[in-house]
Structure 1
Amino acid sequence: MKIRAQALLFDNDGTLVSSLDSVDRCWARWAQEYGITEEFGRVELHGRPAAEIVADLLPAGLVPEALARIEALEVEDVPRGGARLLPGTRDLLDALPAERWAVVTSATRRLAEARLDAVGILPKTMVTADEITRGKPDPEPYLRAARELGVDPARCVVFEDAPAGLAAGRAAGMTTVALTTTHTAEELRADLVVRDLSALSVLVSADGVEISVRG
């Protein structure tokens, strides 16, 4: 299978880097600090903006302070192994011109930059949770990335590991590629499902990018 596109849009956590251990560690501590460990145990964390999670768990008056606290915990955890490259990330990104790809993440810019900097990834274009009004599964983050790259959404490919992110890509009218790094293939609805980015190769030309599944 070959997919042709003008731009590639990557989720970060679970797609380019793994920060699952850090997320679990920091949010568990955060929930304990706020005395909501029981309620927290019923919440889906992955692929959702922190603002949405916090608003679901705490009264509105506590949300700003609680958001700042979880961001601080996660940023402080990065040097302790809070981010590591997933297979295939380096090779695939190194093959792409800077103007052909972007990172689209549910993390804040401060946290996203901390994690990406830790693994040596410096995207020219990045859309973060604090720059949008509606997060995934709304298409706004991916539509904004396409606009910043100057590419028709229909000519973009979204790479995601979470159902909410894939739903955002579909709603934006983009081709979707799912990675089974955090969910099973049965949980992921996409045009193509692969284990991680190491299963893919890219060929860049003046016309765009051709994505192929490695034999």
Structure 2
Amino acid sequence: MPDLRTFDAVLFDLDGVITPTADLHRAAWATMFTEFLQDRGAAPYTEQDYYDHLDGRSRDEGVQALLASRGITLPLGDAATATPTEDTVVGLGLRKNEDFLRVLSQGMDPYPGSVALLDELDSLDDPGTAGKPGTAPQVAIVSSSKNARQVLTAAGLVDRFGLIVDGTVAAAEGLLGKPAPDTYLFAARSLGVDPSRAVVVEDATSGVASGRAGGFGLVVGVDRGAGHETLLDAGADIVVSDLAELTTNESGDDAR
């Protein structure tokens, strides 16, 4: 396994990489779309729809992609005034998000292996600062979700990341969502790190493709259900089932 400590930055996706919130998102999308598609007389929602159309994408882009798969067109809606009850792209996203936040409010435990990797990276001396790399790689969150800070707060990890590039930041900066590389490139620039010296860690094919398109030095796929070969085909250099596989033992050998 490659040693992430040799890079200048490690850029983590959030849902499905640091926290099991992908499970909550998947359940919330299923609840909302099952009802909506049934009311429209469209082909029923399936679990594969999440991976094909929603996983890794921004909320609005995901809604539009799934609706397009059913030949359904809805108005976008106004992000400033839309409500969860209206049948617009924004409204459906808000409807799903209500259920997600309700479950999230009960708390969230991060993946133990992900915390172990963060602990190992944090233990290194001389962490870098923006524009001034040190011996320890900087760490950042790059997430399509607009709930990234709430999720990290619920998991007790919000203070572990000096930079959080989420859906809100992407909208404010006019950044294209994954699979475009914009959000990851923005994070690298913000940290003062060349993409070739940074690692992207992703569980979604769209996120893996984003890292590959951005020319990052290493793209790590985390198989939480997308499939090992699928992530490799999307552009991952390596695929692990848990980030604990990227930690090292006391002798410096790869953990197995």
TM-score over 0.5 for the pair: yes
Structure 1 unaligned blocks of 5 or more: 204-210
Of 82, 93, 105, the residue aligned with 1:79 is 105
1:102 equivalent in structure 2: 140
Q: In the aligned structure 2, how far is the partner of 1:49 from the partner of 1:131?
A: 12
CA contact (8 A) 1:19 1:84 kept: no
Q: Shift of the alpha carbon at 1:200?
A: 1.3
Runs of 4+ in 1 over 4 A off after TM superposition: none
Query: Are residues 1:191 and 2:191 paired?
Result: no
Q: Mean Cα displacement is larger for which, 119-128 or 177-186?
A: 177-186
Q: In the aligned structure 2, how far is the partner of 1:118 from the partner of 1:196?
A: 21
2:74 equivalent in structure 1: 59
Secondary structure at the aligned position of 1:85 is classed as coil
Secondary structure at the aligned position of 2:220 is classed as strand
The higher radius of gyration belongs to 2
1:213 equivalent in structure 2: 254
1:50 equivalent in structure 2: 59
Determine which structure has the larger strand proportion and give its number.
Answer: 1
Cα root mean square deviation, aligned: 2.4
Matches within 5 A, 1:1-12: 1-3=1-3, 4-12=6-14
Secondary structure at the aligned position of 1:88 is classed as helix
Q: 1:166 to 1:212 in 2, by over 3 A?
A: farther
Q: Shift of the alpha carbon at 1:69?
A: 2.4
Query: Are residues 1:131 and 2:169 paired?
Result: yes
Q: Shift of the alpha carbon at 1:202?
A: 6.2
Query: Are residues 1:117 and 2:153 paired?
Result: yes
Secondary structure at the aligned position of 2:247 is classed as strand
- Residue identity (%): 35
Return the TM-score normalized by structure 2.
Answer: 0.71
Q: In the aligned structure 2, how far is the partner of 1:212 from the partner of 1:176?
A: 21
Report the residue type matching 2:43 in the other structure: E
Return the TM-score normalized by structure 1.
Answer: 0.84
Query: Are residues 1:90 and 2:146 paired?
Result: no
Q: 1:177 to 1:59 in 2, by over 3 A?
A: same
Q: In the aligned structure 1, how far is the partner of 2:191 from the partner of 2:177?
A: 19
Query: Are residues 1:176 and 2:219 paired?
Result: yes
Secondary structure at the aligned position of 1:12 is classed as coil
